């Protein structure tokens, strides 16, 4: 699933969320490696759809409370749009 962050930190702030419940990146196991690759591919495709490929963007996982994680279901942040 992909949706816009309700508290965006960039002009474009999307969340890429897998259907499989994984609490955090610390809980990823070997069988989840392809899922992470799929999440990155979705992020790349969404960046292109949002017109960010040429200007650049960031991909980010927040990990545990100390790393800024507040939703304990794995998700990848796509941030960009500052220089479109």
Q: How many CB atoms lie within 10 A of CB 79?
A: 19
- The catalytic residues are 75
**How far apart, in whole angstroms, are the C-alpha atoms of residue 40 and residue 29?**
17
3-state secondary structure of 6: coil
């Amino acid at each position: 699933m992909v949706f816009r962050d309700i508290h965006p930190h960039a002009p474009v702030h999307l969340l890429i969320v897998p259907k499989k419940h994984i609490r955090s990146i610390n809980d990823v196991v070997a069988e989840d490696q392809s899922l992470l690759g799929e999440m990155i591919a979705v992020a790349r495709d969404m960046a292109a759809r949002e017109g960010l490929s040429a200007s650049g963007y960031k991909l980010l996982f927040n990990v545990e409370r100390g790393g800024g994680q507040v939703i304990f279901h794995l998700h990848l942040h796509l941030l960009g749009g500052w220089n479109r």
